[in-house]
Amino acid sequence: MELYNKEVEKLAVRVFDTRDNMGFAAAKDVENKLKRIIADKGEATVVFAAAPSQNELLEALLKSDVEWNHVRALHMDEYIGLSKDASAGFGNFLRRAIFDHLTFKEIYYLADAGEDAEKACATYSALIEKYPPDLILLGVGENGHLAFNDPSVADFNDPYKVKIVELEDVCRNQQVNDGCFPTFDDVPKRAMTLTMSTIIAAPETVVVVPGKLKADAIEAMLHGPISTACPASILRTHSSSTLYLDKDSAAKAFA
């Protein structure tokens, strides 16, 4: 059941009673967008987020009737220092969740883009230049980050498309909260990420954020200043972005 459907400045916000209903609604939105983009262009380039917050969305997308063989898939961030077969790697997360289950036109992994992080960022930047994303699927971090653009490294006018970042402790601890790593010390300190400039430039974004641990970030995103102190707040200025919440993540923003 949908509890709220409203706009906060330019950002459409939809709140659902359960994570499952939230994910299903978001997937239907993504399905419709992809069908329209493919009808218009013959193909679509999509950037996927990799996190447990996306589980319900990705599971529902497996049941959609999108022509996935017309979809080019990328993902938005990756750790530095993990082995290529590490289960916590974001590319591997997406393999398990969706990439291995559907037939895509092409799939590009950050971990495969270069032997070192700087080369990988350059290669992925060139790829994004060649294939600008039509749609980006996003989550929001506990500190308000988008991708791995934590407040300390977020730049709304970033000159780079993909860059290397140092992860804040809050961000690293979130990975433990999400069950991706057993301890804080196991979480890498550095990562590669699509920048805020790349995210903002996407014609459309769908943002899926469930769970009570995200309630503070969502409150700041929707009601605080538009600032890199909460990078996700910039989506209030985006002309075609929809935020999907469950009742737990929306609890403080719509108290």
Write out pLDDT tens, residues 107-131: 999 988 667 999 999 999 999 999 9
Mean pLDDT of the chain: 96
Tell me, letter by letter, the H, E, C secondary structure of the chain.
CEEEEEEECCEEEEEECCHHHHHHHHHHHHHHHHHHHHHHHCCEEEEECCCHHHHHHHHHHCCCCCCHHHEEEEECEEECCCCCCCCCCHHHHHHHHHHCCCCCCEECCHHHCCCCHHHHHHHHHHHHHHCCCCEEEECCCCCCCECCECCCCCCCCCCCCEEEEECCHHHHHHHHHCCCCCCHHHCCCEEEEECHHHHHHCCEEEEEECCHHHHHHHHHHHHCCCECCEHHHHHHHCCCEEEEEECCCCCCCCC
Residue ranges of domains in the chain: 2-246
| pLDDT of the residue at 255 | 76
Q: Report the percent of the chain where pLDDT is more than 70.
A: 99
Contacts of 91 (CB under 8 A, 6+ apart): 50, 75, 78, 109, 110, 111, 112
- Quick one: pLDDT band at residue 162, thresholds 50, 70, 90? very high
pLDDT value at 91 more than 80: yes
Give pTM, 2 decimals.
Answer: 0.97
Greatest alpha-carbon span in the chain: 48
Tens digit of pLDDT for each residue in 165-175? Answer: 999 999 999 99
Mean pLDDT of 3-12: 96
CA dihedral (121, 183, 248, 227) in degrees, to 10, reads -40
The CATH class, in words, for 2-246 is: alpha beta
| pLDDT of the residue at 67 | 98
| pLDDT of the residue at 112 | 81
- Quick one: pLDDT band at residue 103, thresholds 50, 70, 90? very high
pLDDT value at 191 more than 80: yes
pLDDT value at 188 more than 90: yes
Tens digit of pLDDT for each residue in 206-234? Answer: 999 999 999 999 999 999 999 999 999 99
Tens digit of pLDDT for each residue in 46-82? Answer: 999 999 999 999 999 999 999 999 999 999 999 999 9
Mean pLDDT of 9-22: 98
